[in-house]
Copies of this chain bind each other. A is one copy, B any other.
Amino acid sequence: MKIVSAKVIVCSPGRNFVTLKLETDAGVYGLGDATLNGREKAVVAYLEEHCLPALIGRDARNIEDIWHYFYRGAYWRRGPVTMTAISAIDMALWDIKGKALGTPLYNLLGGKSRERVMVYAHATGKELGDAVDAVGKARDEGFVAIRVQSSVPGVASSYGVPKGDRAYEPAQKGVAEEQVWETAPYLRYLPKLMDRVRSTYGFDFHLLHDVHHRCTPSQAARLAKAMEPFDLFWLEDPVAGELQEGLRMIRKHSTTPIAIGEVFNSIYDYTTLITEQLIDYVRMPIVHGGGITHLQKVAALAAVYHVQMGFHGATDLSPINFAASLHFDLAVNNFGVQEYMPHVDPAFDVFKVNYKFERGYCTIDDKPGIGVEIDEEKAKKYPYVAASLPVARRTDGTMFHW
């Protein structure tokens, strides 16, 4: 089953998505997500200029071989652009394999380990009261796991808080917004927010929070400890993760579960974190982490050390990645939770999806492969719009982690 054509489709139905389409001489095609938020065109060029010519003529069945071809064959390994391109190829090949064999992806990954996938909602507010209300709204919608974020009093802009009434989309058109941030008020504020959430709604649901890399190890350790009375499901990205040892201090001081890695792209970003048992959840998404092939290996490594999977799933990843994630979530034993942020309507104008949300859980139907289709004509209606994620500075102007 030879690959006979390969093309990249860029569209922006609400936000930018990059989609890889591979066609085979068996008449079966596959789709893979190649979206790297704010760096989309680099992935497009990586694929079109450097990968796709080498894909033509290869046997689509040999996914492991093709994975290593592009991983090792790049010579310059790892990194978000490289690994997103590889992920897209890998996803499209698994989609092809499923379609060629007439079976949904999860069945190729070992079958179902569960019937439905617990997802967590985003609840955000411009102030404490709004955030608390948003948690209540998410509970009313049936969510059993909710991530809460809010603006911090005295801090000009906070991660995860929308500006207007629309759902939170941090990327904005054109050049990155420069936000202002200080961690000290946040450290003092967060326990208040969590206390209000728990005292309002009790403990009978999973509560999550994303630090978004904005702590030093000692700040993160302090924060994780301060979160203990609120029984968090996880505290996410407590410190910037390039230095894996940076998580050690948190672990020494707190039992709050830790999730990390939505910006990671390789199993090597996790070796120390996992083998030293510094984390509880893997956040690296399929679309950035080398695809299904690589994530299966990460999940295997994680399982040995009691670590569970908790895929990134914001709307900066396309419905194709989300569907692939659900297949993976259904199949793997060491599943924890799946992030779920519904795409805006235009996305569903372009992508025909096979999953749905109901009362706290997502399910996916039995269409072969990944099961999401793209309407290429409609995609053309939504041309690419350059957009950037924000950056953050401290009040003295220091470039900081967004």
Interface residues of A (CB under 8 A from B): 36-46, 48-50, 53-54, 59, 61-69, 72-83, 97, 101-103, 107-118, 154, 174-176, 184-185, 187-188, 203-204, 206, 216-219, 221-222, 225, 228, 231, 233, 239-240, 242-243, 245-246, 248-249, 251-253, 255-258, 263, 265-268, 271, 275, 277, 280, 288, 293, 296-297, 300-301, 303-306, 308, 331-333, 335, 361, 386, 388-389, 391-392, 394, 396-402
Asked whether A242 lies within 8 Å of B263 as measured between CB atoms, the reply is: no
A73 to B389, CA, bound (A): 7
Closest B residue to A331 by CB, please name it: B64
Q: Which chain B residues lie closer than 8 Å to A296 at the CB level? A: 296, 300
21 sampled A-B residue pairs with Cβ under 8 A: A38-B75, A38-B76, A39-B46, A62-B110, A64-B109, A64-B113, A68-B333, A72-B391, A72-B392, A72-B402, A76-B80, A114-B397, A114-B398, A116-B396, A216-B257, A218-B255, A218-B256, A221-B255, A243-B271, A297-B300, A300-B301
Asked whether A397 lies within 8 Å of B115 as measured between CB atoms, the reply is: yes
Closest B residue to A298 by CB, please name it: B300
Q: Which chain B residues lie closer than 8 Å to A75 at the CB level? A: 37-38, 263, 389, 402
Q: Which chain B residues lie closer than 8 Å to A43 at the CB level? A: 42
Asked whether B398 lies within 8 Å of A333 as measured between CB atoms, the reply is: yes
Q: Which chain B residues lie closer than 8 Å to A68 at the CB level? A: 113, 333, 399
Q: Which chain B residues lie closer than 8 Å to A216 at the CB level? A: 257, 280, 306, 308
If A42-B45, A54-B176, A112-B62 touch, whether A80 touches B77 (CB-CB below 8 Å) is yes
Q: Which chain B residues lie closer than 8 Å to A257 at the CB level? A: 216, 218-219
Which listed residue (B37, B252, B304, B388) contacts A268, Cβ 8 A? B304
A203 to B68, CA, bound (A): 30
Asked whether B306 lies within 8 Å of A277 as measured between CB atoms, the reply is: no
A75 to B187, CA, bound (A): 22
A248 to B252, CA, bound (A): 11
Q: Which chain B residues lie closer than 8 Å to A219 at the CB level? A: 255, 257
Asked whether A39 lies within 8 Å of B277 as measured between CB atoms, the reply is: no
A117 to B398, CA, bound (A): 10
